[in-house]
Amino acid sequence: MPGRSSDPCYREPAIRSRWNDADASSLSGLDLLVHVSRLIGAEPSLVVWGGGNTSIKLTETDYRGRSVPVLCVKGSGSDLKLVERRDFPAVRLDDIQKLFEREDMTDDEIVSYLDHALLDPGAGRPSIETLLHGFLSPVVVIHTHADAVLSLSNNDRPRDSIAAVYGRDVVSIPYRRPGFRLAKDVAQALAATPDANAMILERHGTITWGATAREAYESVIRMITRAEDAIAGRRRGRKVFGASRVPALEPAARHALASAIAPRLRGRFSSHELWASAVA
C-alpha cells in the first residue's frame, strides 16, 4: 500500500508463508504433515514453547492386515519445529468419532481411552486435544497459539474484535479449557457454519483445516496476516506507549528496593504453596 513504509508506526507483518514446492514435491501423507508442522514450529509467534498440534486422517494397515481409517496427531510433549513421523501416533478414527455421542469425559478418561485406541500399542501418547482433531471431518487440521490472533481475543470484547477483522469468515468459540467439551463445541460450531474458513478459540488459539496439508497451512498464514494487518492499521499514526512519567531509579536503588519487598512478596505467595525468591 503506497505510503505505508513511510509511517514510523507501520510494521511489516511478521508472518510469511514458508511453503516451497521444491521442498514438498516429493512428500505425501504423514511425511508432508511433518514438513508442514516444522514450518509452523519455525514461527515463534505461532507456537508457545513448541505447543499447538497438527493432524492428518489416513488409512493404515492393522496387525491383521486390514485397512483401518486412522488419525495421526502430534503426540504430547513433542515440539512442532522438531517433530518426526514417530511423534504422530495413529489412533483408530472410528474409536475417536464414536466418543462424540457422549456428554462428557474427564481428562483421565480421555487419556485411558486413547491408550486403547492406538493402532500400535507401543506408540507414544497422543495429544490431550486428539478429540478436537478427530471430531472434525477435514483431512488435515492445524491448531496454533498465534500471538496476533490472541491479541484480538484476549480482551473484554473478543467477539467484536474478531468480527471486525474477519467478518463471518471465522467462527469464534467462547473460552473453555481444553478437553472433551471444547472438542465437542468446535465440531458443533463447524457443523452449524460449514462455510467458515477457520475458527478462533477465544483466549486460546486458532484452528484451520483443509483437504491437503498445504491448504490447511496456507489458511493459517492468511488468518494471521489479516490479524497483523488489522493491528498495524489500528496503531498507524498513534503513539502506543507514551514517554515515562516517572524517572527510573539507579541500579543500586532498584536492587535495595527489590531486596526490601521480596520477603513480603514471598510470604504472600507462600501462604498456600512454597515459593523461593531471589534478587539478581
Q: What is the pTM of this model?
A: 0.80
Element at 77 (helix H, strand E): none
User: How does DSSP classify residue 147?
Assistant: H
Confidence of residue 237 (pLDDT cuts 50, 70, 90): low
pLDDT value for 39: 95
Domains along the chain with CATH numbers: 4-235 (3.40.225.10), 249-280 (no CATH)
Look at residue 264 and tell me whether its pLDDT is greater than 50.
Answer: yes
Looking at every residue in the chain, the average pLDDT score rounds to 88
Task: Give the type of residue at 62.
Answer: D
Query: Mean pLDDT, to the nearest integer, of 70-85?
Result: 93
Look at residue 199 and tell me whether its pLDDT is greater than 90.
Answer: yes
Confidence of residue 232 (pLDDT cuts 50, 70, 90): confident
Treating both helix axes as pointing N-terminal to C-terminal, what angle do 29-41 and 213-235 enclose, rounded to 10 degrees? 20
Q: Which of 46, 45, 54 is nearest to 74 (CA)?
A: 54
What is residue 84's three-state secondary structure? coil
Percentage of the chain modeled with pLDDT above 90: 69
pLDDT, one tens digit per residue, over 167-191 is: 999 999 999 999 999 999 999 999 9
Task: Give the type of residue at 215.
Answer: E
pLDDT value for 247: 85
Look at residue 241 and tell me whether its pLDDT is greater than 90.
Answer: no
Look at residue 158 and tell me whether its pLDDT is greater than 50.
Answer: yes
- Residue 140: Cβ-neighbour burial (10 angstroms; 0-12, 13-18, 19+): buried
pLDDT value for 275: 56
Strands in 213-279 per DSSP E:
none
Q: Which residues fall within 8 angstroms of residue 16, CB to CB, at 6 or more apart?
A: 221
Count of H-run helices and E-run strands, the chain: 10, 7
What is residue 144's three-state secondary structure? strand
Lowest mean pLDDT across 10-24, 114-128, 194-208: 10-24
Query: Mean pLDDT, to the nearest integer, of 232-256?
Result: 79
Confidence of residue 10 (pLDDT cuts 50, 70, 90): very low
Element at 41 (helix H, strand E): helix 29-41
- Residue 267: Cβ-neighbour burial (10 angstroms; 0-12, 13-18, 19+): exposed
Write phi, then psi, for 256 (nearest 5 degrees). Answer: -65, -40
d(CA 267, CA 274): 9
Look at residue 9 and tell me whether its pLDDT is greater than 50.
Answer: no
Query: Mean pLDDT, to the nearest integer, of 99-104?
Result: 97
pLDDT value for 4: 44
Query: What is the grid cell recorded at 226?
Result: 489479516
Query: Mean pLDDT, to the nearest integer, of 50-63?
Result: 92
User: Quick one: CA torsion of 56, 59, 63, 66, rounded to 10 degrees?
Assistant: 160
